Amino acid sequence: MKKTNSIVFLILGIFLVLNGCSNTAKVNDNSTVYPSDVIPFFNDFKLILGDGSNAGHPIDFENKDFFYTASEGETNWVVYKTPNAGNTHGTSNNTRTELAQVKKWSAMSEAKMTGTCKVMNVSTTGDARVAASYSVVIGQIHSADGHENEPFKLFYKKFPGHKKGSVFWNYEINTAGEDNSGRWDFSYPVWGYDMSVVGTGPTDFPAEPEDGIELGEELTYEVVVKDGMMSLKFSSEGHETITFTKNLIQSEYTTKADIPKQTQNLFVPVGQDGVERENAYADEGLFFKQGCYNQTNGKDPVINKVWCAGAETHGGDIQKQYETGNYAEVWFKEASVEIPDDAISNDGYFAANDGLSKKTVYPHEVIPFMDKFKIMLGDGTRLDDITAFEHKDFFYTVIDGTMRWVVYKTPNSGVTSKNSSNTRTELHEKREWTPEQGGKLTGTCKVMHVSTSGDARVAASYSVVIGQIHSGDGHENEPCKIFYKKFPGHKKGSVFWNYEINTAGDDNAGRWDFSTPVWGYDMSVVGSSPTNFPKEPEDGIELGEEFSYEINVHKGIMYLTFKSEGHETKTFTKNLIQSEYTTKADIPQQTQKMFVPIGQDGVERKNAYAGELNYFKQGAYNQTNGKDPKTNMVWATGAEIYGGDIAKQYANGSYAEVWFKEATVGAGEAPK
């Protein structure tokens, strides 16, 4: 093995002894002490700054916002500092001022990294229920290949008001298969707690750890990888020295039954429940990282209750974040790295990740069926070609910490289609098909927001339609509409689907929907007054909770399937070519209660939607509008619309937002 810095460190040690100092760095002609004067291994690393930029090899380099030196008596330290929000590197949600090794090596070879450091600050804001809040990663092993996962992450975390924080390290599985969204960490405590210990409310903290580490308290870590085994050693004066070993080339998490209890409690509820490939990281190049990788961000915890901390970011203003304690800061006085002779260039990692957070990833790159759809946006804009297209107000992509999603967002009031009172950012299938010909639409999504204003007595209030079949003929009615609805103050909302009758005769004014619950209530469950809500549904779906649906029409029959982790899978069938509502006597009790009082009491043609051309729709069709409930107690919700000002509606919760990570469209299939 090549001892990369051994000679350099020996020469430096002789120099320091001859000059009668310990860690006192040389002074340059301009009197600046650079980090490379203190820890002389920066030819082995490139430096990523808290603004997302790659500073390259930071020799004789400093940046007073992120990377510089500080002295305490005779000792110089290298300072790594980064805010809660700024430009990030790669696909991460989190800022970093962090070294990344320029060469990668195999887990079967021998490599070593050490560091002696102290954490000086972690964010003072965040959500105590979110595991990543108030924490910073100070050392890593990162994969350069495949999913680019991390077999080692060393954290420091301290809750506000506590004197002592915790040091723990996480192993992230190298997820089997091509989908990495199910990846998860297992967390090991060193001093204090592991990552899974969280608060019971946003500002309710667990007890302070008795054996924790204070801000400013020095600690040393050593990471050695040899012949597929990782050995870890942690030491700090006044604390027990702790060691671990972990096999990096043979997984212990290859089946669902292997998922540990900690993971079931922390990660499975956010949909991260994958399994690991049998040989773990054996086939991938690995590299070390060291510095300050801030884990506290400003993203809404609704997005991901493990990684999205909801901290203060002051709109990304770095100086304001620094002034108010919304940053992480780590000081190193010593560090070393040793890598094998056969280590190879890691340029591929930097090429793939440098500037990635600033690059546009279009929705069609996440869900590739966009060429089969056109779209209407929340401001009434229509587009037939939505490949290589995004709109930051309505239709774009985001990363939630594990996966990239397509976002559909629309206000309570904007420009909409000719026959609707409601705005939409919604796909419209270009192909049309009859129920006899059939078609199939799938979607895996999570609803991130529904309007927080409306009239609780109105059935459509606080709801959004996330998938439809729409008729393009006759009355242009809708044989399937999938809704999500959540009352203000409730944690859980309802998913239900509606069938709208294809009204007999030329007058469509009497049309009505029949609503069927999936999880939670159907549409007919409403409040007793504008602000009195029904009881929260016990089996409902939370905002940010992932679920999937399948609409499959085959030979005139519609088959619906709904799935969500931790909820019962639900299936339904509906005949689209033979009606069950052809006489007044067939009108169900739900309809008599909800629609008949507003004059919608029609009957359906005997053959329902037979022979009519239909098409699928998917996205966010906001059902909450600003119309006066006196005009229609089912559909006119009386929500706040701020005079149609879209920015004000977004700022005040008067909008709907739905994220999709997967979706398909195609021909109908015989049911399984």
Query: What CATH number is given to the structural domain containing 25?
Result: 2.60.120.200
Q: What's the pLDDT at 355?
A: 79
Contacts of 29 (CB under 8 A, 6+ apart): none
What are 51's two structure tokens?
């603004």
Same-domain pairing of 504 and 633:
yes
Q: Write the CA distances from 644 to 451, 452, 623, 627, integer angstroms.
A: 14, 16, 15, 12
- 332 part of a folded domain: yes
Contact 663, 482 (CB under 8 A): no
User: pLDDT at position 30, please?
Assistant: 60
Residue 257 vs residues 264, 274, 406, 591: alpha-carbon distances, Å: 11, 11, 32, 46
**In this structure, is residue 369 part of a structural domain?**
no
> What is the reported pLDDT for 417?
66
Phi, psi angle pair for 643, to nearest 5°: 65, 20
Residue with the two structure tokens 């409403």: 526
Mean pLDDT by 10 residues, the chain (672 residues): 39 35 47 94 96 94 97 96 88 91 97 98 98 98 96 98 98 95 96 97 96 98 98 98 98 97 94 96 97 96 93 95 98 97 93 80 96 97 96 94 91 79 95 98 98 97 98 96 98 98 96 98 97 96 96 98 96 98 97 96 97 98 96 96 96 97 97 88
377 falls within a domain: no
559 Cα distance to chain centroid: 30
Indicate whether 352 and 405 sit together in one domain.
Answer: no
Residue 371, domain member (yes or no): no
The span from the CA of 82 to the CA of 63, in Å, is 11
Residues 38, 336 contacting (CB under 8 angstroms): no
Which helix (H) or strand (E) is 650 found in, with range? helix 646-651
The answer to whether residues 342 and 423 belong to one domain is: no
Structure confidence at residue 551 (pLDDT): 98
Q: Which domain holds residue 112?
A: 6-358
370: in domain: no
Asked whether residue 280 is assigned to any structural domain, the reply reads yes
Q: Is residue 366 part of a domain?
A: no
pLDDT at 557: 98
Say whether both 344 and 436 belong to one domain. Answer: no
Write down which residue in 358, 386, 420 finishes a domain: 358
Based on the fold, state whether residues 333 and 481 are members of the same structural domain.
Answer: no
* CA distance linking residue 236 with residue 269, whole number of Å: 35
Query: How far is it, in rounded angstroms, from Cα 592 to Cα 581?
Result: 13
Same domain, 74 and 219: yes
Considering 358, 374, 409, which residue would you say is the last residue of a domain?
358
Alpha carbon separation from 224 to 58, 141, 189, 214, 237 (Å, rounded): 25, 10, 18, 26, 21
Residue 217 inside a domain? The answer is yes
- Look at residue 219 in the predicted model and tell me its pLDDT: 98
**How far is Cα 60 from Cα 352, in angstroms, rounded to an integer?**
26
State whether 340 and 434 are in the same domain: no
Nearest Cα to 418, choosing from 378, 380, 370? Answer: 380
Residues 27 and 99 placed together within one structural domain of the fold? yes
Of 358, 389, 421, which residue is a domain's last? Answer: 358
| Residue 639: φ, ψ to 5° | -80, 165
Give the whole-angstrom CA distance, residue 207 versus residue 187.
19
Give CA separation, 222 vs 98, 99, 245, 543, in Å.
17, 16, 12, 42
- Compute the distance between CA of residue 461 and CA of residue 623 in angstroms, rounded to an integer: 7
- Same domain for 423 and 293: no
CB proximity list for 323: less than 8 A, separation 6 or greater = none
Strands (E), 392-535: 395-399, 404-411, 424-429, 439-449, 463-471, 480-485, 492-500, 513-519
Separation in Å, CA 26 to CA 10, 57, 157, 240, 257? 16, 19, 33, 35, 56
Please state the domain count of the chain: 2
User: Of 104, 99, 7, whose CA–CA distance to 54 is shortest?
Assistant: 99
Residue 483 identity (one-letter amino acid) = F
**Are residues 344 and 428 both part of a single domain?**
no
Same domain as 46, residue 154: yes
- Tell me how far apart the alpha carbons of residues 226 and 340 are, in angstroms, rounded to a whole number: 10
- Do 102 and 195 fall into the same domain? yes
